[in-house]
Amino acid sequence: MSARTLSAVVVMFSIATTVALAQPPNEIDTTSWKVFRNLVMGFETRYPSTWHVRSAKGNEPETVLLNETPQAGKPHLAVQFWVQRHMNPRGLPVQQWYADQLRRMNAAPSSTANTSIGGRPAVRMETTGTLGRTFQFFTSLNKTDIFEITLRQPASQTQLNPTDQKLLSTVKFID
């Protein structure tokens, strides 16, 4: 193979790779996903049909874990939902409540951003530690209760995994 032919192949491969990377990722099909609904915690969400649901009853805070069966060589996906009753006794907006919590603990997460969950204002906190990268979302469930969602990923994974993103987009609150 001549140097000119090799150069043409490299250029064509580079163009094809760039086009492939520029295309949007495949949309996740949720038609086979199950619905989890918890009236006591006041929410529902959809999750992959291959995942499992575990609920802790009689605990404070109330908690539900949705997770897939661990597979060798693949990061384990899990989402934990919490309700912390009477955590916001003054009924502050979630951003103000969160800022107060950080001040009280003299803590600073790796990053914080305002977002929304289930159409409600929320705060997203991200930290990286020995257990990997943790994403936590906080929103008000009602005037005094805080609803929290926790996801863990490998530290090298800087963005939320697409399945987790899709699951978060299906969260709805039950009034």
Phi, psi of 18 (to 5 degrees): -65, -45
Distance, first Cα to last Cα, the chain:
69
- Cis check for the bond before 70: say yes or no (omega within 30 of 0): no
Per-residue pLDDT band for 110 (boundaries 50, 70, 90) equals low
Q: Which segment of 42-46, 127-131, 160-164 scores lowest on mean pLDDT?
A: 127-131
What local confidence, expressed as pLDDT, does residue 104 receive?
85
Across 14-25, average pLDDT: 39
> How does 7-40 read in b/e, with b if 16+ C-beta sit within 10 Å?
eeeeeeeeeeeeeeeeeeeeeeebeebeebebee
More confident residue, 102 or 81: 81
What local confidence, expressed as pLDDT, does residue 60 receive?
65
